Structure 1
């Protein structure tokens, strides 16, 4: 998945041409697989454009929004937001491999237009669609919102030199998206034990934690425990 991590950027302008039925089927199959594994209730919408039609919500930053994935789950599901980030990012990378564009969107849409069942929490959405070369607007938005990527040393605390598997995982973390490009997930490697945590003072922080954990796992080989401060277990 390294190539997908490198290719993935947040896309805000989509082609008018909808995704194909074959692509839709692959995405829905992946959603079903991840929902079964996690207890989440992610849903594919072939046309969720109505949630982005109010400029007061989208600020005109999105063009030709059509297909999207509603990121939701039961309110009582433990680590709901983190699991949405973790499984959602694996889904995003698989969609990137299909040659489609994506964008995590936390707040600039009308949640009231995307119904969630009673007892469910709708946390965010992932836009999906066909894309061309980045537009001038996308480049300007990306320049404004994607400031300098933090150095690895700013993302991990360690009491010893990092082993290769930790460095591999951290290189993948540096490619992970985060809300407002905050890059807040912090890793600690102390006494030969690695964990990941985040301040959790913003609505999307735990989603970002799940995304960062997924990126680390892909390159390091192993599994994180869920939860803020969850420990990593090397394969």
Structure 2
């Protein structure tokens, strides 16, 4: 399995030292490439700390937030939230490979402090920064806010034994982050067709669907259609 899938964990405590110029350039390059591929308008913000200054005691207990990636796109894009999750997780895994910490943040920040053009929608942000080994405080927060990871059998419905490629994809899905660790994305494999869906009754659900699809694709070697209930096609 790709190492960044296993190594990525949501980090809320960052070092005061900002990321280096080279790390910044790499991230901006990743963002540009993914925007080109997706039609999104994601943007790196070197200092977005102002969006968190009033919310330091909020859920998640963020510390030393500085650099952000604004996860945004055109308001008219019907698949906007799913694309944010799908391409954003590509970005998160690339940043993890750089040795930096990240965290998806859906609501505990001040949107008014962040620049968004007319016609764009800011869905969420990804916090980025240098990290040390998780502190005891972080471990306590993580254990208090995260439920146990669901088993593969709880995430997929099937009318037959799962082929190896489905098992490979599902193993990666179990590592996918989700809002409040709800792990709501469900997969279905019936009549040799695999699809992914989510209840979509929470603001970040479609983002979570995109993230889970990306994880599955990386290990199963194929491509999902966009949309709730989108079908997977093997390469």
Number of the residue aligned with 1:201: 201
Gaps of 5+ in 2: none
Q: Is the 8 A contact 1:57 1:108 kept in 2?
A: no
Gaps of 5+ in 1: none
Q: How do 1:46-125 and structure 2 match up within 5 A?
A: 46-55=46-55, 58-59=58-59, 61-125=61-125
Number of the residue aligned with 1:225: 225
Instruction: Give the aligned CA root-mean-square deviation in angstroms.
Output: 1.1
3-state SS in 2 of match to 1:115: coil
3-state SS in 1 of match to 2:133: coil
Provide the C-alpha distance between the structure 1 equivalents of 2:57 and 2:213, rounded to a whole number of angstroms: 30
Provide the C-alpha distance between the structure 2 equivalents of 1:90 and 1:60, rounded to a whole number of angstroms: 23
Report the CA distance between 1:69 and its aligned residue. Answer: 0.2
Report the CA distance between 1:180 and its aligned residue. Answer: 0.4
3-state SS in 2 of match to 1:9: coil
3-state SS in 2 of match to 1:157: strand
Report the CA distance between 1:44 and its aligned residue. Answer: 0.2
Provide the C-alpha distance between the structure 1 equivalents of 2:155 and 2:34, rounded to a whole number of angstroms: 28
Number of the residue aligned with 1:9: 9
Provide the C-alpha distance between the structure 2 equivalents of 1:225 and 1:123, rounded to a whole number of angstroms: 21
Number of the residue aligned with 2:180: 180
Report the CA distance between 1:78 and its aligned residue. Answer: 2.6
Provide the C-alpha distance between the structure 2 equivalents of 1:214 and 1:61, rounded to a whole number of angstroms: 28
Number of the residue aligned with 2:130: 130
Distance 1:59 1:143, change over 3 A: closer
Normalised TM-score (structure 2):
0.98
3-state SS in 2 of match to 1:58: coil
- Residues paired across the two proteins, number: 235
Q: How do 1:33-52 and structure 2 match up within 5 A?
A: 33-52=33-52
Q: Does 1:163 align with 2:166?
A: no
Structure 1's consecutive aligned runs of 4 or more residues displaced over 6 angstroms after TM superposition are: none
Report the CA distance between 1:115 and its aligned residue. Answer: 2.1
Report the CA distance between 1:118 and its aligned residue. Answer: 0.8
Q: Is the 8 A contact 1:178 1:208 kept in 2?
A: yes
Q: Does 1:210 align with 2:210?
A: yes
Q: Does 1:191 align with 2:191?
A: yes
